[in-house]
Amino acid sequence: MKKSVTILLAVLMVLSFAACASGNEPAGTPSETETESLQPSETMNGAADSTSAEPNQEPAGSPKESQEPTGSKILVAYFSATNNTEGVAQKLADGLGADLYEITPEQPYTDADLDYGNSGSRSSVEMDDPSARPAISGSVENMAQYDVVFIGYPIWWGEAPRIMSTFIESYDFSGKTLAAFCTSASSGFGNSDSALRSAASGAVWLTGHRFSAGANSDEVMEWANGLEIS
């Protein structure tokens, strides 16, 4: 009898140890099935599924929906017999990021040519003749590329020098935006650009301005910015 009880107890102890061994797995260790469910798929980690791109992700190389406007291409063309207009033109071109072109006479003006007190001087004779067209050396390489053209000159007898008419009549300004500026010691802008407007009637002309020879960049850009050119 004692022997049977001892055997029974031994069997119960073996069964008890087996049960404990199967139920005491370390805490937090997933089972084999759980481990598979936690494996990230290729789509989740971005490895292979090209049809499952992230939301709002644009394909490489695609253009943006909104881009910065390119703006207008601007030229500042000027004639400066005594370098006064040149200084204003350079300030204007620098401030606008524009190209700069000097209107150079084929026959340069000498001091004697610019003697306004002499009715026989070259400048006096030209200004007495509305049909005078002094020749220009060179030309703008590609005028068609410019949307806006600023035209600068000194005031001669209240008008733009005749060489400016030569320049205007040498190109087609149809559809372009033009604005004239001048330099003088005392004369105002007046109607100094009237002949130029008539020669380029197909252009959109903005209000011109007169500057002194010593005009600073702030003064020049105040006028240019006030024109509200795009």
What are the CA-CA distances from residue 107 to residues 9, 117, 133, 167, 201 (Å)? 130, 21, 12, 15, 28
* Residue 71 tokens, joined: 């703006």
* Domain extents in the chain: 74-226
Q: Using the 8-state DSSP alphabet, how is residue 101 labeled? A: E
Write down the pLDDT at residue 230: 66
pLDDT in tens, 156-211: 999 999 999 999 999 999 999 999 999 998 889 999 999 999 999 999 999 999 99
pLDDT band at 218 (very low <50, low <70, confident <90, very high): very high
Fold designation for 74-226: Rossmann fold (3.40.50)
pLDDT of residue 52 exceeding 90: no
pLDDT in tens, 98-140: 999 999 999 999 999 999 999 999 999 999 999 999 999 999 9
pLDDT in tens, 7-20: 455 445 544 444 44
